[in-house]
Structure 1
């Protein structure tokens, strides 16, 4: 007796935070992951090789939201499951909207409930904006900052003293370190295994490296060795965490819109819009997206 193999789900490839498939951060998207085991989802993420891939299934009971637009979402890097991923959320929302129209989505993640709004401009461009879970900002121990700098090959003098190191959270934990110069940020050559070991011990998803160009414009880079990749090209979860960090430390107005440029030094430029609203601790992160053509067989 032969067993019929389980059909493979449709696996989409999208970039987030750029309207150009060659820019932004690529993510795998599976809009119907029903029946996929953890191992199968991890295998798909590893096969794609992107920093994360997102998998949608039916929502948990009581999630709410519009029928047919509420889901459970799980995120896998090539090496492990992660609690939340901003760029894969944006990519998923754009992919869903291309098939079902712009509007509201409600996503149940391991970090909490994440609403996403997709709008369509007059020229047909889709833009997705996620609302983070409630963020938190914590002190970073001096010994941990020292270890991070040594793993990066940075010295204390490479840091901008106006931006004290902190661990920031908005669905995932990130160590925020600010470079004193754009040249320091551009020169990224770190000890992969040492930084991965350090980040694993502190449960960090990325290290958010940032340089301030102007009052509301920043350039950022995110080493991601714990996910099996050297660098993440555009990091929505870190952008949300950074927005919370900058507001809490009084580095930006309580109500403001920040522009984060990421991926330029990797040849995959992207732009992340970070919105802070007075009286609302949550952070909104938005951007465009684009379908990436499937590889030729």
Structure 2
């Protein structure tokens, strides 16, 4: 029997309780015999923004080595695929704390299953950081997006934020600007490759604890992510860095709405801790 026929690929939608919403992820819970080339091929076949592969596991210690692949490349960390993988594991080995060893570092994930049998996972990011975006970086990104500086919210400065991988964070001045996303796919991908960004996180602030987000992901071969846990972690660090969060706070991020795949991400930020917690539910997608 070949490796291809043995490989079980699970499909989950993260940051939602509706399989038709949220961000779908592939999950391979036994990838011990699969090499990187095959993982990339599987991710391309699945076609989701990321597929997670558990390449080593210790169920007794609840510790797992995880790699993440988009259809085009391996990425060091992916939040929604982490949530999907954690939920898949909780459904099979029971709820509780998990530890994922990733290329970005150790990621602790707490899982619970509610009375209705729906699982939730809350990941704790690696230490976050954030810095102002340079003029050259900003102008290149805005040019590819077809945005102007006047389209940005002056109260939320452009930054490059890190929560396992780097993201350019741009806050739109209006909800209408965020909704009107029609960008140069190849042009933005080139800018992102130059600067090492995994997504561009576009946001609009509805209130102090409620944001709307969109995340172009052209370097992964995907026009847009319906929910981006890694970017949400980076965003929490961004809010801490710019002084928008001065005491422990919970932020709700609504993403995917403009794609018809609404997602809800819960971001918990403590100004005294560089790590950010990101929580959401996940449900299986029927074959």
Both proteins in one fold, TM over 0.5: yes
SS class of match (1:95): helix
Q: Which residue of 2 aligns with 1:196?
A: 189
1:139 CA displacement:
2.2
Report how far residue 133 of structure 1 moved. 0.3
Partner of 1:118: 111
Structure 1 residue 208 and structure 2 residue 205: aligned?
no
The farther-off stretch of 258-267 and 124-133 is 124-133
**SS of residue matched to 2:197:** coil
Q: Measure, in 2, the Cα distance between the counterparts of 1:66 and 1:76.
A: 23
Once the two structures are superposed, what CA deviation does each residue of 1:148-171 show, in whole Å capped at 9, x if it has no partner? Answer: 111000011000000110000010
SS in structure 2 at match of 1:209:
strand
Q: Which residue of 2 aligns with 1:27?
A: 25
1:271 maps to 264
* 1:129 and 2:126 correspond: no
CA distance in 2, matches of 1:185, 1:240: 20
The Cα shift of 1:278 comes to: 4.2
Uncovered stretches (5+) of structure 1, i.e. residues with no partner? 60-64
Matched, 1:90 2:87: no
Establish whether residue 292 from structure 1 lines up as the match of residue 285 from structure 2. Answer: yes
- How far did residue 121 of structure 1 move? 2.1
CA distance in 1, matches of 2:39, 2:62: 21
Of 48, 55, 58, which residue of structure 2 is paired with 1:57?
A: 55
Aligned to 1:185, what secondary structure does the other structure show?
helix
- Alpha carbons 2:25, 2:80 under 8 Å: kept: yes
The counterpart of 1:155, out of the listed 136, 148, 160, is: 148
Q: Does the CA-based 8 Å contact 2:59-2:93 persist in structure 1?
A: no
Look up the match of 1:62. Answer: none
Alpha carbons 1:45, 1:52 under 8 Å: kept: yes
Match of 1:5 in 2: 2
Q: Which residue of 1 aligns with 2:221?
A: 228
CA RMSD of aligned residues (A): 1.2
Residue deviations 1:255-294, cap 9 Å, x none?
1000000000000000000001242210000000010011
After TM superposition, give the deviation of residue 66 of structure 1 in Å. 7.0
Please say if 1:217 is aligned against 2:215.
no
Q: Quote how far apart the aligned CAs of 1:99 are.
A: 1.3
Distance 2:246 2:15 in 1: 24
Contact 1:215/1:252, CA 8 A, preserved across alignment: no
Moved beyond 3 Å, runs of 4+: none
Indicate whether 1:37 and 2:27 are aligned.
Answer: no
Asked whether the equivalents of residues 28 and 88 of structure 1 are also in contact (C-alpha less than 8 Å), the reply is yes
Q: CA deviation at 1:102?
A: 0.7
Partner of 1:242: 235
**In the aligned structure 2, how far is the partner of 1:5 from the partner of 1:160?**
54
Distance in 2 between residues matched to 1:264 and 1:134, nearest whole Å: 29
Q: Describe the SS at the equivalent of 1:282.
A: coil
Provide structure 2 residue ranges, at least 5 long, that are not aligned to the other structure. none
TM-score if structure 1 supplies the norm length? 0.94
Q: Answer yes or no: is the 8 Å Cα contact 2:129–2:241 preserved in 1.
A: no
- Deviation readout 1:160-203 (Å, 9 max, x if unpaired): 00011000001010000000000000000000000000000001
Aligned pair count reads 286
